[in-house]
Structure 1
Amino acid sequence: MPRLKFTSSFPQACISLLILFVVLGEQVGIWPSQVLQRLEWLTYDERVLATLSDAKDPSIVIVDIDEESLQAIGQWPWPRAQVAQLLFTLFEDYNIQFAGLDVIFAEPETNLLEQQWQELYQAYPGLPESPPFPSGDDLLRQVIAAYPVVPSFYFDTGQASQVTPSSGVLPRPLTVTNSETDWQQLPIYQPRRYTSNAFTVQPAPSVGGFFDNPMVDSDGVFRRVPLVQRWHEQLYPSLPLAMFYTLLGQPPVTLDAVPAAGMLHLEGIDVGGFYFPTDPHTAVLVPWAGKREHFPYISAAHVLEGRVQPESLEGKIVLLGTSAPGLMDLRSTSVGAVFPGVEIHANVLAGMLQMSFRSEPGYSLAITVLTLFVLGLLMTWLYPRLRAVQLIGLSLFLLGTIVTGNMYAWHQGLVLPIASVILLTALMTVWHLTLNFWRESHAKKQVADQFGMYIPPELVKDIVASPEAQDMAGQEKELTVLFSDIRGFTTFSEKIPPAELTQVMNRLLTPVTQAIHAHQGTIDKYMGDAVMAFWGAPLSDEKHALHAVEGALAMQEALTEINREFVQEGKQALAMGVGIHTGLMNVGNMGSSFRMAYTVLGDNVNLGARLESLTKNYGVDILISEITQQKIAPTGLFLLRKVDKVRVKGRFAPVEIFQLLGKKEQLNEQVQAMVASFENALSIYEQANFAEALQAFQQHLGLYPDDQVAQLYLIRCENYLSTPPPDNWDGVFTHKEK
């Protein structure tokens, strides 16, 4: 039958191009529906999670105001003197290198003793005019001024009507080398207010950093953070950048802005020779190094109580922050739905120290649009010409290639869009598969209508004759399966004209099929010159193993008659290998909604096929399994000889196999003597006495030189004598080929 060919039609191509146009429009923002953006965020998060490191980073330590600290010291905010003592202990007792504060102290601390001191002074003239000890604010300011501590603040970009006046003292801005006329053209965030440390806490000349993030994605996830924000014609750093800036000695900062489309486009920020790629708003993608607690956490209470090992903090960079849920510093991120904000700063700072930022290059949109265009046109032209399996295979190949290329770019530090390409491939695949299945369904219906008459008649007859056979649903039953294959048929067919091949096939398969039918077998399928049949279904047959063996012998007899005719016609005589196995199998109507077949499936079916294949290895006509042998042994009708104990490909459990020589009544005493001689040598072989077995097989072959099974064992004995098997050898021979 000619192969069905499906070609593209104009409506199919139009819809394919429409899909391409919709995805392209979404990618370039013609109709931003946020669907593609959310898919892109999901793919970005998956790439982040797939490339996280399990190794810890001990270079940055988070001193955590956790629940244990709140229980030990009291609710937040703590007295300023307590915070000052914490910082003093970190620097003096634990010798840390540097500290950043992810907390602010927006209002002066209320000191009741200082407020009432004048009344006490008037009542007790011997007291000094002012308290003899500094306030908590004074102590904290002195500690921040005396040690390398970077305080923090936050900006507010809310609506003007909702913004309260700024409070506190802003730290020192960055020293920028660019002229104001240059960088003021850039779309850097400009907040409406700020909240910083109170003037009583903030040392005037210090550098600080903001910890707010005006660039949280619309799904509420922190994926990028700005490095600077603009306030009153000055640029102020984020907390990680302020710490890095201070570690370098506050070098000049250069904004890498290049002209593009008549305006400046920011590509990165240079801090003392360290370059960080950014987007136009100065934001960087958070360089996630690991999941939560990638950096060591140490409870603030343990520091104050002196319970921390000195090596855990000595020489480390410390971030003071909180993971306590009640203090509201937990964020949703790419690596966790509940993530402490202080650890986000730690990841950004670690990225600066290790120069491990990824960037979204300006040409990524052009690459994506070109990829979508080429891929869409390729699918529009090629997909209608493919069958379903080919189409799915090509789609998987294209997706695999795209994902591999994207991940390669990811490992090179480049973040390229991928969601639109995946979406286009998925939509194109679904559309063309739908049309493909519709067309093949229609074609298969026509084929079924034309060739339904070729359904095996015995199956129809059994269903009509027996009500129990009308249940064609799948079920597990003990059956016997038979596989047969004509040996050397390819060579045989090459010697006859092609026009005669069909006639020869019919002459071969017709008597073989009649032999199976005559012994109550069901033809499962024809596979070229091979036949698969089974016994015990659809009608139950308690003697299915016996009938299968009788059918196999009848098949060989039929082939003998055919060979007589072939020889008379000058054709080559053929041989047929048959494998038979009995066991539990799944039987019933199986297939798809387009085409069903009554067939058997299961591991025992596969074993039957393996036995047929092994007939070539041993040079015998019929091999049966030990289970089939056990089923027919009580009849005493057949002469069998044990051939081997094997482990076939795809099956771990060994199985004994037997050669079916024929019915005893039809065999002479010489055949029975040959079997006895062979089995005597085989028993010696199975005892691993290979030298004696070699002699026994040699003697056997002296009497029966054409016994190919004995010849095979002769070679095995010689091999085992030169290369002995292991001590726990169980006599099983493993076949590595089907």
Structure 2
Amino acid sequence: MKDFLKKILRPSYLKVTLGIIIMHLLVMAYNPAFVRNLEMKFYDLMFQLRGPRNPGPEVAIIAIDDRSLKAIGRWPWSRRQITRLMEVLQQADAKIIGFDIIFAEKEEETGVGLLHRLEQEMGRRSWKSPELQQWIDREYQSIDPDSDLAQRFKESDRVVLGYYFQGLETRQTAPGAFSLQISKDIIKSSTYDLVRWSSAQCIPSWLITAQGVEVNLPRLTRAAAETGYFNAVPDADGSIRSVPLVIRYQEDLYAPLALSILQRYLGNPLLQLVISEGGVNGIRLGRHQIPVDEHGRFRVNFRGPARTFPYYAFVDVVDGKIPPETFRDKIVLIGASAVGIYDIRVTPFSSIYPGVEVHANVIDNILRQDYLWAPTGLINPAALALVALSLVACLLLPKVRAWFGLVLFITLALSYFSIDCFLFANNNIYLQVIYPLNCLAVVYVALGLMRFLAEEAERKRIKAAFQNYVAPDVVNIMLQHPEKLHLGGEKREMTVMFSDIRGFTTLSERMEPEELVALLHSYLNPMTEIVFKHNGTMDKYIGDAIMAIYGAPLALPKHADQACQTALEMVEALSGLWEGWRAQGWPELRIGIGINSGSMTVGNMGSQRLFDYTVIGDNVNLASRLEGLNKYYGTAILVSEATQRLLQDSFILREVDRVRVKGKKAPVSIFELRGQGQPQGVEAELLQTFQAGLAAFRQQQWTTATDHWHNCLRLVPDDGPAQLLLKRTQSLAQQPPPPDWDGTATLTEK
């Protein structure tokens, strides 16, 4: 059980990634405010990257702009100016006229006050004259701007007036927060035609609720064909990204100005609202299904920056500078664009955006059925992308280098963002950016940290495992490039070297143990340094013997050369030690070295508790045999023909024989390694003579071969190979070999 828990709790790339994914999904489900605020900025960026789109031709805007204010005077204007505009639009046959302004207060001209005082005086004096009263009534109508404007509204039967709710809340609050409360009959025309509650448990607090309302003059409201509120609720950063399509006030549910205009424009189809326990389910206007969130908010697909829709200055319209056909069969929205009137909004495209154009965007979105879809919560494509991106990173990051991991992270992030931009621009789909990219970034950092810690642990393990076996420079390379290191068993082309002290067993019997250990230390220390100098790996000490390998754990392109250089320097260094040994009364040691190259199995060998990094195989055994043959041939260094073929530098080699060693059937040519460079003088003559003798020997020309061996011994009297082959030649001359003899010597001892 304990081992099982350890296995479960042991960290891995996948476990850490899954933990990060789950954490992000939980936060995604909660969706805290600070993340929402940051996500809004990416949402705005999508609009700016997508750029503006051309709206439909149905909507035109008549703007109360700075030029109109300069020509007519400061706001508010006399209602007679609005009446003039109504006359123009009626003549132009505009289909719907929507007002994004409120006519909340009566307008009285000077004559109205005089008539009012005349009526009061007539009542005080009890003057009763029907003719005079009729005259007063006619004068009231002729000089009352509100009455005249109301008459225009009624005659046109195409006016939709806007009004404004106060004290909006996304949850129900106690009434009475606002003192301005009026009869809801005045705005009753803007309620939904049909509201369907899916169950009795539906929660009204999902709906945006108003505590008060500011409306137009009752006579103007009654004269208008429809009404609708023009509230636009900004997000936490003050920007308008959505508008409420339903607001609850005194138990009734009301539609906005844009929907009231559209309903009138489309011929008064049924306006329906469906509410469930989870909030608003949907809004339907005739055949148009309008998507909203649970609070009834509609996400506006803004067509572009301010003035994307056609704008006409109020003063130009009333002065007749705009052709009447411009507004024929159009939805004409009238609102302020002058900054000083304070109907300026912040949108994804601009920080100065007339509120009237927000309504134009909503109308155009619904007419085109061009809606944005921005799913949230756990069941949405962004959550799936979060999981997919993180798992892809988990799969690939541990397998690549750090710099490529950074490239991979940037590629995945840019790919997701590019896909998001493409979907937004072409399919009106916005996928959340923050959660998937943040999860990907956390996975990248976490896996990078895990990989760094794992590599540090691996470096420590490598250093602990090899600092006593290879040169410090090799250890540093292994630490810098652990990917070059393979500690498991593998086949590899490499070179192995064995060295052994001649007569060490007899020597150990004659010397005191303390002296013997001191002698070995003085011998092994410089020999080990020579191995390290040529990037060899000290495989093991076998008593007085040294086993070194070249080409593992790091691959060496010139492993054969480095082994041969090591052997030559070891022999030279040994002669340098003799003087110090003689001073201490120690004997002059001699060594034999065997070198072979080829395919060998290298890796950690042993049990789970105790193991060594070493090599095994026939080629290792051959190197050991060659080391032992030095006693037979009287040489110091013997190398195989496999090593001889791999040498790239210039070495002085002499082929001494072709032998069949114990345990191997195939004969092997062996070479004596005598030095580096080119042979000169006696050395060159010796090699030439010996080669000629070896050729005659293999051709069974015994007399010629004998002469060559004698010549070799005259040049170097103690030449071991010449002495050995001279004896063998003389023996074969007396007792010739069989007909199938090929000049190979078969050795029966190791």
- Aligned to 1:62, the other structure's residue is in SS state strand
Task: State the SS of the aligned residue for 2:436.
Answer: helix
SS in 2 for 1:250: coil
Count of residue pairs brought into register by the alignment: 456
Q: Can you give the 5+ residue segments of structure 1 that lack an aligned partner in the other structure?
A: 1-7, 455-498, 508-568, 572-738
Partner of 1:173: 190
CA 1:167/1:506 → structure 2, altered by over 3 Å: closer, same or farther? Answer: farther
Are 1:293 and 2:311 matched, yes or no? no
Cα deviation, residue 317, structure 1:
1.8
Q: Specify the alignment match of 2:259 in structure 1.
A: 241
Gaps spanning 5+ residues in structure 2: where? 1-8, 464-470, 478-553, 563-644, 648-750
CA contact (8 A) 1:213 1:226 kept: yes
Q: What are the within-5 Å matches in structure 2 for residues 400-549 of structure 1?
A: 400-407=414-421, 409-410=423-424, 411-433=426-448, 450=473, 502-503=557-558
Partners of 2:221 and 2:295 lie apart in 1 by 28
Equivalent residues of 1:62, 1:298 under 8 A apart = yes
Paired residues of 1:167 and 1:198 also in contact (CA < 8 A): no
Cα offset, 1:21, TM superposition = 4.2
C-alpha offsets along residues 240-273 of structure 1, whole Å, 9 cap, x if unaligned? 111001112222122345x6xxx35533211111
Q: Which has the larger radius of gyration?
A: 2
Structure 1 pair 167–500 and aligned structure 2 pair: CA distance change class (3 A): closer
Task: For 1:453 and 1:40, locate their aligned partners in 2 and report how far apart those are by CA, in whole Å.
Answer: 47
Could you tell me how far apart the structure 2 residues matched to 1:266 and 1:275 are? 13
When residues 332 and 205 of structure 1 are mapped into structure 2, their CA distance, relative to the original with a 3 A threshold, is closer
Instruction: Pick closer, same or farther for the CA change 1:226–1:506 going to 2, 3 Å.
Output: farther
- After TM superposition, the structure 1 = structure 2 runs for residues 252-651 of structure 1, keeping only pairs within 5 Å, are 252-257=270-275, 263=277, 265-361=279-375, 365-380=379-394, 382-407=396-421, 409-410=423-424, 411-433=426-448, 450=473, 502-503=557-558
Q: What's the counterpart of residue 215 of structure 2? A: 196
* 1:428 alignment partner, SS class: helix
Residue 144 (structure 2) aligned to one of 135, 143, 148? 135
Query: Which one-letter code corresponds to 1:47 in the other structure?
Result: M
Whole-angstrom CA distance in 1 between matches of 2:272 and 2:195: 6
Paired residues of 2:228 and 2:257 also in contact (CA < 8 A): yes
Cα pair distance change 1:86/1:413, threshold 3 Å: same
Distance 1:504 1:452 in 2: 17
Among 206, 231, 255, the alignment partner of 2:225 is: 206
1:198 Cα shift?
1.1
The answer on whether the counterparts of 2:61 and 2:334 sit within 8 Å (CA) in structure 1 is yes
| SS of residue in 2 equivalent to 1:306 | coil
Report SS of the residue matched to 1:333.
coil
SS at match of 2:397: helix
1:53 alignment counterpart:
52
What is the rounded CA distance, in whole Å, between the counterparts of 1:505 and 1:317 in structure 2?
Answer: 92
Q: Which residue of 2 aligns with 1:105?
A: 103
Which SS does the other structure have where 2:410 is aligned?
Answer: helix
C-alpha distance in 1 between matches for 2:177 and 2:279: 31
Q: In the alignment, residue 99 of structure 1 is paired with which amino acid?
A: I
Name the SS of the counterpart of 1:166 in structure 2.
coil
CA distance, structure 1, for counterparts of residue 421 and residue 241 of structure 2:
18
Q: Deviations over 1:55-92 (max 9, x none)?
A: 46543211110111111111111111111111221221
Q: How far apart are residue 316 of structure 1 and its match?
A: 2.5
* Amino acid paired to 1:207: E
1:514 is aligned to none
Q: In structure 1, what is the Cα distance between the partners aligned to 2:176 and 2:327? A: 46
Alpha-carbon distance between aligned partners in 2 of 1:193 and 1:140, rounded to the nearest angstrom: 26
Contact 2:221–2:227 (CA under 8 A) maintained in structure 1: no
Q: 1:57 to 1:294 in 2, by over 3 A?
A: farther
What's the counterpart of residue 70 of structure 2? 71
- Counterpart-to-counterpart distance in 2, 1:181 and 1:56: 36
What CA deviation, in whole Å up to 9, does each residue of 1:146-172 have, x standing for no partner? Answer: 221111001113575641223583250
State how 1:677-688 maps to structure 2 within 5 Å: none
User: CA contact under 8 A between 1:64 and 1:322: conserved in structure 2?
Assistant: yes
Distance 2:344 2:561 in 1: 78
Letter in 1 for 2:432: P
CA offset digits 1:635-675 (Å, max 9, x no partner): xxxxxxxxxxxxxxxxxxxxxxxxxxxxxxxxxxxxxxxxx
The alignment partner of 2:557 has SS state of: helix
Q: 2:163 aligns with which of 137, 153, 158?
A: 153
Give the conservation status (yes or no) of the 8 Å contact 1:150–1:207. yes
Q: What is the distance in 2 between the residues matched to 1:135 and 1:247?
A: 30
- Return closer, same or farther for 1:253/1:65 CA change in 2, 3 Å cut-off: same
Letter in 2 for 1:113: G
Structure 2 distance, partners of 1:254, 1:162, is 30
| Partner deviation per Cα, 1:69-119 (whole Å, 9 max, x = no partner) | 111111111111111111221221x33232110001112223332122254
TM superposition shift of 1:439: 7.3
- Give, as a single letter, the amino acid of the residue that structure 1 aligns with 2:167: T
Measured at CA, do residues 366 and 318 of structure 1 come closer, stay the same or move farther in structure 2, by a change above 3 Å?
closer
Normalising by the residue count of structure 2, what TM-score does the alignment of the two structures yield? 0.54
SS at match of 2:208: coil
Paired letter, 1:342: V
Counterpart check, 1:226 vs 2:244: yes
Alpha-carbon distance change, 88 to 171 in structure 1, aligned in 2, over 3 angstroms: farther
- The answer on 1:25 being equivalent to 2:26 is yes
Residues of 1 paired with 2:345 and 2:646: CA distance?
87
Give the conservation status (yes or no) of the 8 Å contact 2:98–2:334.
Answer: yes
Structure 1 residues 231 and 56, CA, compared in 2 at 3 Å: closer, same or farther? closer
For 1:684-736, what per-residue CA distance to the aligned partner results, in whole angstroms no more than 9, with x for missing partners? xxxxxxxxxxxxxxxxxxxxxxxxxxxxxxxxxxxxxxxxxxxxxxxxxxxxx
2: CA distance between counterparts of 1:275 and 1:203? Answer: 30
Q: Judging changes above 3 Å, is the alpha-carbon distance between structure 1 residues 165 and 210 closer, same or farther for their aligned structure 2 residues?
A: same
1:682-721 equivalent positions in 2, closer than 5 A? none
TM-score (norm 1): 0.54
8 Å Cα contact 2:207-2:296 kept in structure 1? yes
Residue aligned with 2:136, SS = coil
Kept in 2: contact 1:109–1:136 (CA 8 A): yes
What SS does the aligned partner of 2:219 have?
Answer: coil
Query: How much has 1:452 moved relative to structure 2?
Result: 11
Q: Is the 8 A contact 1:279 1:360 kept in 2?
A: no
Structure 1 CA distance, aligned partners of 2:307 and 2:64? Answer: 14
Partner of 1:41: 40
Aligned twin of 2:710: none
Specify whether residues 250 and 104 from structure 1 end up closer, same or farther in structure 2 by C-alpha distance, changes over 3 A only: same
Residue 604 of structure 1 is matched in structure 2 by none
Separation in structure 2 between the aligned mates of residue 60 and residue 434 of structure 1, nearest angstrom: 57
Q: 1:254 to 1:199 in 2, by over 3 A?
A: closer
1:163 aligns to 2:181 (yes or no)? no
CA RMSD, Structure 1 to Structure 2 (Å): 4.1
Amino acid at match of 1:64: A
Distance across 1 between alignment mates of 2:257 and 2:367: 14
Q: Distance in 2 between matches of 1:162 and 1:287?
A: 34
Q: Partner amino acid for 2:211?
A: R
* 1:407-449 C-alpha deviation (Å, 9 max, x unpaired): 4553334433232001111222234445656877999999997
